[in-house]
Protein backbone atom coordinates (compact mmCIF):
# COMPACT_ATOMS: atom_id res chain seq x y z
CA UNK A 1 0.00 0.00 0.00
CA UNK A 2 1.22 3.49 -0.84
CA UNK A 3 2.32 5.35 2.28
CA UNK A 4 0.97 8.82 3.05
CA UNK A 5 2.85 11.74 4.58
CA UNK A 6 1.22 14.99 5.64
CA UNK A 7 3.84 17.68 6.14
CA UNK A 8 3.87 21.05 7.86
CA UNK A 9 2.26 20.36 11.24
CA UNK A 10 1.87 23.68 13.10
CA UNK A 11 -1.18 23.55 15.36
CA UNK A 12 -2.85 21.21 17.82
CA UNK A 13 -5.73 21.03 15.31
CA UNK A 14 -3.32 19.65 12.69
CA UNK A 15 -2.33 16.88 15.07
CA UNK A 16 -5.97 16.08 15.83
CA UNK A 17 -6.66 15.77 12.09
CA UNK A 18 -3.82 13.34 11.43
CA UNK A 19 -4.59 11.34 14.56
CA UNK A 20 -8.14 10.96 13.24
CA UNK A 21 -7.36 10.07 9.61
CA UNK A 22 -4.06 8.32 10.28
CA UNK A 23 -1.56 8.97 7.52
CA UNK A 24 1.64 6.99 7.99
CA UNK A 25 3.88 10.01 8.58
CA UNK A 26 3.55 13.54 9.98
CA UNK A 27 6.17 16.12 9.05
CA UNK A 28 7.44 19.10 11.05
CA UNK A 29 9.48 21.93 9.50
CA UNK A 30 12.25 22.48 12.05
CA UNK A 31 14.65 24.83 10.27
CA UNK A 32 14.07 28.56 10.64
CA UNK A 33 12.78 30.92 8.01
CA UNK A 34 10.01 28.98 6.28
CA UNK A 35 6.27 29.46 6.13
CA UNK A 36 5.51 26.36 8.18
CA UNK A 37 8.50 26.50 10.56
CA UNK A 38 7.82 25.75 14.20
CA UNK A 39 10.14 26.24 17.16
CA UNK A 40 11.47 23.57 19.48
CA UNK A 41 8.90 24.10 22.24
CA UNK A 42 5.98 23.99 19.81
CA UNK A 43 7.40 20.86 18.24
CA UNK A 44 7.68 19.15 21.62
CA UNK A 45 4.06 19.99 22.47
CA UNK A 46 2.72 18.77 19.12
CA UNK A 47 4.95 15.72 19.16
CA UNK A 48 3.59 14.71 22.55
CA UNK A 49 0.03 14.77 21.18
CA UNK A 50 0.74 12.81 18.00
CA UNK A 51 -0.43 9.19 17.95
CA UNK A 52 2.55 6.91 18.60
CA UNK A 53 1.79 4.81 15.52
CA UNK A 54 2.29 7.79 13.18
CA UNK A 55 5.96 8.27 12.36
CA UNK A 56 7.53 11.64 13.10
CA UNK A 57 9.52 13.31 10.31
CA UNK A 58 11.70 16.33 11.05
CA UNK A 59 12.44 18.45 7.98
CA UNK A 60 15.76 20.33 7.99
CA UNK A 61 17.39 22.63 5.44
CA UNK A 62 21.18 22.97 5.64
CA UNK A 63 21.00 22.69 9.42
CA UNK A 64 24.20 22.10 11.44
CA UNK A 65 24.32 18.42 12.31
CA UNK A 66 25.03 19.35 15.93
CA UNK A 67 21.66 21.11 16.21
CA UNK A 68 19.77 18.13 14.83
CA UNK A 69 21.58 15.67 17.09
CA UNK A 70 21.31 17.83 20.22
CA UNK A 71 17.67 18.80 20.05
CA UNK A 72 15.78 16.43 17.80
CA UNK A 73 17.41 13.08 17.05
CA UNK A 74 15.89 11.25 20.01
CA UNK A 75 12.40 12.64 19.28
CA UNK A 76 12.14 11.73 15.60
CA UNK A 77 11.73 8.59 13.54
CA UNK A 78 13.00 10.20 10.34
CA UNK A 79 15.30 13.08 9.50
CA UNK A 80 14.41 14.58 6.11
CA UNK A 81 17.13 16.72 4.55
CA UNK A 82 15.86 19.32 2.13
CA UNK A 83 18.94 21.41 1.37
CA UNK A 84 22.36 20.85 -0.18
CA UNK A 85 23.50 18.24 2.32
CA UNK A 86 26.27 15.99 0.93
CA UNK A 87 27.48 12.45 1.60
CA UNK A 88 29.91 13.56 4.34
CA UNK A 89 27.15 15.40 6.19
CA UNK A 90 24.78 12.45 5.88
CA UNK A 91 27.44 10.04 7.04
CA UNK A 92 27.95 12.06 10.23
CA UNK A 93 24.24 11.92 10.98
CA UNK A 94 24.11 8.18 10.37
CA UNK A 95 27.00 7.57 12.74
CA UNK A 96 25.38 9.52 15.56
CA UNK A 97 21.67 8.80 15.49
CA UNK A 98 19.34 5.91 14.93
CA UNK A 99 16.84 7.73 12.73
CA UNK A 100 16.07 6.88 9.15
CA UNK A 101 17.48 9.58 6.89
CA UNK A 102 15.69 10.78 3.79
CA UNK A 103 17.03 13.16 1.17
CA UNK A 104 14.69 15.45 -0.69
CA UNK A 105 15.63 16.35 -4.24
CA UNK A 106 14.11 19.25 -6.17
CA UNK A 107 14.21 17.56 -9.52
CA UNK A 108 14.75 19.59 -12.66
CA UNK A 109 15.96 16.54 -14.59
CA UNK A 110 16.66 12.83 -14.22
CA UNK A 111 20.30 13.48 -13.31
CA UNK A 112 19.22 15.34 -10.17
CA UNK A 113 17.41 12.22 -9.02
CA UNK A 114 20.32 9.93 -9.91
CA UNK A 115 22.75 12.03 -7.85
CA UNK A 116 20.46 11.93 -4.82
CA UNK A 117 19.96 8.18 -5.25
CA UNK A 118 23.72 7.70 -4.87
CA UNK A 119 23.77 9.35 -1.42
CA UNK A 120 23.92 7.16 1.73
CA UNK A 121 20.27 7.68 2.72
CA UNK A 122 17.41 5.28 3.34
CA UNK A 123 14.77 6.92 1.14
CA UNK A 124 14.31 9.82 -1.25
CA UNK A 125 11.60 12.44 -1.44
CA UNK A 126 11.32 13.72 -5.00
CA UNK A 127 9.85 17.20 -5.19
CA UNK A 128 9.31 19.74 -7.93
CA UNK A 129 11.96 22.37 -8.57
CA UNK A 130 11.05 25.96 -7.82
CA UNK A 131 13.69 28.67 -7.87
CA UNK A 132 14.14 30.22 -4.43
CA UNK A 133 12.05 27.65 -2.59
CA UNK A 134 12.88 24.38 -0.85
CA UNK A 135 9.38 22.92 -1.18
CA UNK A 136 5.77 23.35 -0.19
CA UNK A 137 4.97 25.41 -3.27
CA UNK A 138 2.21 23.23 -4.72
CA UNK A 139 4.08 23.03 -8.03
CA UNK A 140 3.65 19.65 -9.69
CA UNK A 141 6.56 17.33 -10.47
CA UNK A 142 7.13 16.45 -14.13
CA UNK A 143 6.37 12.73 -14.09
CA UNK A 144 8.05 12.16 -17.45
CA UNK A 145 11.52 12.36 -15.89
CA UNK A 146 10.90 9.13 -13.96
CA UNK A 147 11.09 7.13 -17.17
CA UNK A 148 14.63 8.46 -17.69
CA UNK A 149 16.19 7.20 -14.44
CA UNK A 150 16.47 3.96 -12.48
CA UNK A 151 15.88 4.70 -8.80
CA UNK A 152 17.32 2.11 -6.43
CA UNK A 153 15.86 3.49 -3.21
CA UNK A 154 12.24 3.68 -2.05
CA UNK A 155 10.96 7.19 -2.74
CA UNK A 156 8.16 9.56 -1.88
CA UNK A 157 6.59 11.73 -4.54
CA UNK A 158 5.85 15.32 -3.54
CA UNK A 159 4.89 18.52 -5.28
CA UNK A 160 1.48 19.51 -6.55
CA UNK A 161 -0.29 16.28 -5.67
CA UNK A 162 -3.97 16.53 -4.85
CA UNK A 163 -7.19 14.55 -4.72
CA UNK A 164 -7.65 14.79 -8.49
CA UNK A 165 -4.20 13.73 -9.70
CA UNK A 166 -2.63 11.54 -7.03
CA UNK A 167 -4.07 8.21 -8.20
CA UNK A 168 -2.81 8.76 -11.74
CA UNK A 169 0.65 9.60 -10.38
CA UNK A 170 0.70 6.48 -8.21
CA UNK A 171 -0.35 4.31 -11.15
CA UNK A 172 2.33 5.78 -13.42
CA UNK A 173 5.42 5.70 -11.22
CA UNK A 174 4.58 3.46 -8.24
CA UNK A 175 6.22 5.49 -5.46
CA UNK A 176 6.75 4.07 -1.99
CA UNK A 177 4.76 7.02 -0.67
CA UNK A 178 3.19 10.39 -1.44
CA UNK A 179 3.65 13.66 0.40
CA UNK A 180 1.13 16.49 0.85
CA UNK A 181 1.36 19.95 2.33
CA UNK A 182 -0.19 22.94 0.55
CA UNK A 183 -2.78 20.79 -1.23
CA UNK A 184 -4.37 19.83 2.10
CA UNK A 185 -4.59 23.45 3.24
CA UNK A 186 -7.13 26.25 2.94
CA UNK A 187 -5.88 29.82 3.31
CA UNK A 188 -2.50 28.47 4.39
CA UNK A 189 -3.72 26.17 7.17
CA UNK A 190 -4.36 22.45 7.26
CA UNK A 191 -7.96 21.61 6.32
CA UNK A 192 -9.55 18.59 7.99
CA UNK A 193 -11.85 17.77 5.07
CA UNK A 194 -8.99 17.88 2.56
CA UNK A 195 -6.88 15.56 4.70
CA UNK A 196 -9.83 13.20 5.07
CA UNK A 197 -10.50 13.12 1.33
CA UNK A 198 -6.89 12.61 0.29
CA UNK A 199 -6.37 9.73 2.73
CA UNK A 200 -9.64 8.09 1.66
CA UNK A 201 -8.84 8.57 -2.04
CA UNK A 202 -5.51 6.76 -1.73
CA UNK A 203 -6.69 3.98 0.56
CA UNK A 204 -10.05 3.13 -0.99
Rounded Cα–Cα distance for residues 169 and 159 (Å): 11
Q: What's 11's domain CATH number?
A: 3.20.20.70
Q: What is the pTM of this model?
A: 0.93
Q: Can you give the pLDDT of all 204 residues of the chain as single tens digits?
A: 999 999 999 999 999 999 999 999 999 999 999 999 999 999 999 999 999 999 999 999 999 999 999 999 999 999 999 999 999 999 999 999 999 999 999 998 999 999 999 999 999 999 986 555 444 455 677 899 999 999 999 999 998 899 999 999 999 999 999 999 999 999 999 999 999 999 999 998
Residue of 14, 117, 127, 179 marked active site: 127
- pLDDT value of residue 136: 47
Residue of 7, 99, 117, 179 marked active site: 7
Q: Are 73 and 47 in contact (CB under 8 A)?
A: no
Pairing of strands 185-186, 189-190: antiparallel
Give yes or no: 127 in active site: yes
Full 3-state SS string of 109-171: CHHHHHHHHCCCCCEEEEEECECCECCCCCCCCCHHHHHHCCCCCCEEECCCCCCCCHHHHHH
- pLDDT value of residue 139: 67
Tell me how many domains the chain contains: 1
Core vs surface per residue 87-117: b (16+ CB within 10 A) or e? eebbeebbeebebbbbbbbbbeebebbbebb
Q: Which residues contact 193 (CB under 8 A, 6 or more apart)?
A: none
Quote the domain boundaries for residue 138.
Answer: 3-203
Amino acid sequence: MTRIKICGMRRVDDILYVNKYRPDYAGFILSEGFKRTIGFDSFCELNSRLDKDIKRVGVFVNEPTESILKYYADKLDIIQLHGEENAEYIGKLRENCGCEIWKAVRAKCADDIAKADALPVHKLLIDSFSAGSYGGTGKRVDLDIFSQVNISKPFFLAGGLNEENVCEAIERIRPYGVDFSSSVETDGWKDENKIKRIVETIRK
